């Protein structure tokens, strides 16, 4: 049986994020996100650029930066943050229901939406309940992927067990905790580590 399309969840999560950011102050927009090289505003710019990307645009823009991924990302963010934060937020709202994306598995963009939304929300102290099924789907994707963020290698030799969903993977010392915290750790974010426990936690902490 084919998996359901993740696009309805992606769209709903983008819209929810936009609503959460509608009343941010200038200082809040400048807050460092969990992606420490980017501010909250820049992270939203990245999400906006991703929502507007297509495979042809991706390869053309990558070629324009000499296939340097960091330069490619920086140029896209600069373009999306050339105005004000309000401008970026308005553009993000405009493309919130787009189904365009760079090349790659569609679950990449579900993960991108959830993880980057949390990159923005956590430093701002904004709590959000993500759909449990979506978190499990993202974790199932990341557990077998080393693309860009190295999740597969990061959790190698460990058992991960969710305490709020029926999800367990791996073999070895256990790390347990909320599904969202596990996803953050899998993707190299230390923000959720204090919510986790188990004999494998120190190993995971060293890899994050």
Whether 45 and 101 map to the same domain: the answer is yes
Print burial letters for 7-37: b (CB count within 10 Å at least 16), e (below 16).
eebbbebbebbbebbeebeeebbebebbbee
What total of structural domains would you count in the chain? 2
- Residue after which a domain boundary falls, among 124, 142, 163: 124
pTM for this model (two decimals): 0.93
Whether 143 and 92 map to the same domain: the answer is no
Whether 120 and 94 map to the same domain: the answer is yes
Whether 136 and 119 map to the same domain: the answer is no
Report the pLDDT value the prediction gives residue 2, as an integer from 0 to 100.
58
**How many residues are there in the chain?**
208
Q: 139 CB contacts (<8 Å, ≥6 apart)?
A: 160, 162, 167, 169, 179, 182, 183, 186
Chain segment 92-101, per-residue pLDDT in tens: 999 999 999 8
204 contacts 175 by C-beta, under 8 angstroms: yes
Q: Which two tokens stand for residue 110?
A: 């579900």
- Residue after which a domain boundary falls, among 124, 155, 190: 124
Range of the structural domain that residue 187 is part of: 132-207
Q: Which two tokens stand for residue 131?
A: 């759909």
Chain segment 103-153, per-residue pLDDT in tens: 888 899 999 999 999 999 999 999 999 999 999 999 999 999 888 789 999
């Amino acid at each position: 049986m084919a998996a359901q399309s993740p696009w309805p969840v992606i769209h709903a999560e983008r819209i929810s994020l936009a609503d959460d950011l509608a009343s941010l102050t200038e200082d809040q927009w400048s807050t460092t996100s969990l992606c420490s090289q980017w501010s909250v505003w820049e992270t939203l710019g990245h999400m906006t650029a991703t929502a507007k990307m297509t495979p042809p645009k991706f390869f053309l823009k990558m070629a324009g930066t000499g296939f340097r991924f960091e330069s490619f990302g920086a140029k896209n963010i600069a373009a999306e943050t050339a105005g004000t934060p309000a401008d970026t937020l308005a553009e993000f709202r405009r493309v919130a229901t787009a189904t365009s994306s760079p090349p790659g598995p569609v679950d990449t963009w579900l993960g991108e939406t959830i993880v980057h939304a949390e990159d923005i929300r956590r430093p701002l102290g904004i709590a959000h309940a993500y759909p449990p099924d979506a978190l499990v789907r993202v974790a199932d994707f990341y557990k077998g992927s080393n693309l860009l963020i190295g999740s597969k290698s990061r959790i190698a030799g460990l058992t991960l067990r969710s305490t709020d969903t029926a999800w367990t993977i791996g073999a070895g010392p256990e790390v347990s905790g909320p599904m969202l915290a596990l996803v953050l750790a899998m993707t190299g974010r230390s923000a959720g580590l204090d919510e986790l426990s188990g004999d494998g936690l120190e190993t995971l902490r060293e890899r994050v």
